[in-house]
Amino acid sequence: MTGTEAPALLSPVPDEDGAPFWEYAAQGELRVQACAECGELRFPPRPCCPHCQSFDSEWRRMSGRGRIWSYVLPHPPLLPAYAEQAPYNAVVVELSEAPHIRLVGNVVSAPDARLDSVDPAKLRIGAPVKVAFTRGPDGTHLPRWLLERP
Which residues on adjacent β-strands are paired with residue 94? 67, 102
Q: β-pairing, 90-95 with 65-72?
A: antiparallel
The least distance separating Zn ion from the CB of residue 52, rounded to whole angstroms, comes to 3
Site for Zn ion contains 34 (CB under 5 A)? no
Site map (CB under 5 A) of Zn ion, residues 103-142, x = contact: ----------------------------------------
Q: Is 26 in the site for Zn ion (CB under 5 A)?
A: no
Of 49, 68, 118, 146, the residue at the interface with Zn ion (CB under 5 A) is 49
Could you give the CA distance from residue 115 to residue 144 in angstroms, rounded to a whole number? Answer: 10
Beta carbon of residue 47, minimum distance to Zn ion (angstroms, whole number)? 12
Distances from the Cα of 133 to the Cαs of 24, 55, 79, 144, in angstroms?
Answer: 11, 29, 23, 6
